[in-house]
Structure 1
Amino acid sequence: MTGGTKRQKEMRKALRALLPRVPMADAEAIFGLALAGHLRHLPPSIALWQAVSSHIRHTFTGYDALLEEGYDRDATRFFVIDDMNQVLEDWGSARRITAEEDGQDPPG
């Protein structure tokens, strides 16, 4: 995870600071999400947080299964906040997702 554009370098630096213990495979997946075209108008740190929360929600929680069971999006997001925050804690992040700011998926 070296080289690249100024934005990519800023995101890599922010990713290391935000998630010091994130596994490399997850870091690469998050980095790829953060570089998505529909996030390019956002500052690197915000695009990165959107990517982190989306990756964790869809990879490490039962979010998608709950949606398939018929729960609405807001209820489902509420149900997975604790699981998401556990992953953030495991990865060494001081930041947490709250019910008010639930790390919504990037638009697009």
Structure 2
Amino acid sequence: MAPQEYTVSVNTPMPKGYAFLKKGIKYKTLHCRRLTHEAGKPVYVVENNKKLIGIRIPKSIYFHVQSLANETLPARRLATEQRDAALVRTAAAELDSQFPNIPKEDRKKILNHGFRKNSGRVGRTNQMPMSRKVLYAVVAHIRHKHTNYDQMLNDGTTREDARKKIHKKLQSILREWGATQRKP
């Protein structure tokens, strides 16, 4: 039997025996959804103005998953920290490979800023290889910390023009740091 999911409005009355789980915690959402499907019960996807705000699932499943989430939280946090540390180690090795002459302070700032969890930065994307993530993080760092790029933007220069104006300085620093690849 195919999983049953229905989209409802926030104003739709709560089905008897159901609870609301707000959007935002993947672990809870995935487990509540899976267990509700396995129980053969419908999941109600709640939207407000066409934006997903959460799901409605049976209360028994809601409380079970809440309990599981609390029990497993320390282990899940540790696993996340280990994955994040591995990502930064991989990025550090790639950074050292591509830019062997990078100053220690710049290296530290790039790793802390460009690969910070939940930052939305290029280093956190899964859409490109690590070599490109590192290169883009370095280019962004140079642009923002070693040129007057931000001041140009604040003064009304377009992004494209500001990038053209700092291009030579950016390339010079990349060469100085021993870039093994060309600027993207």
Give CA deviations for 1:46-67 in whole Å, capped at 9, x if unaligned.
3222211111001111211211
Pair 1:86-2:166 in alignment: no
Per the TM alignment, residue 32 of structure 1 is displaced from its structure 2 partner at its CA by 1.2
DSSP-derived class of the 2:100 partner: coil
Correspondence 1:2-13 to 2 at 5 A: 5-13=85-93
Show the counterpart of 1:41.
125
Structure 2: distance between partners of 1:6 and 1:62 = 33
Mark the CA change 1:63 to 1:54 in structure 2 (over 3 Å): closer, same or farther: same
Mark the CA change 1:94 to 1:45 in structure 2 (over 3 Å): closer, same or farther: closer
Which runs of no fewer than 5 residues in structure 1 stay unpaired? Answer: 102-108
Correspondence 1:1-108 to 2 at 5 A: 5-36=85-116, 37=118, 38=120, 39=122, 40-42=124-126, 43-97=129-183, 101=184
DSSP-derived class of the 2:87 partner: helix
Mark the CA change 1:94 to 1:46 in structure 2 (over 3 Å): closer, same or farther: closer
User: For the Cα contact (< 8 Å) 1:21–1:91, is it kept in 2?
Assistant: yes
Structure 2: distance between partners of 1:95 and 1:85 = 11
Structure 2: distance between partners of 1:20 and 1:46 = 16
Give CA deviations for 1:25-50 in whole Å, capped at 9, x if unaligned.
00000111231332423343232222
User: For the Cα contact (< 8 Å) 1:14–1:45, is it kept in 2?
Assistant: yes
Give TM-score, length-normalised by structure 2: 0.47
User: For the Cα contact (< 8 Å) 1:7–1:44, is it kept in 2?
Assistant: no
DSSP-derived class of the 1:20 partner: coil
Give TM-score, length-normalised by structure 1: 0.77
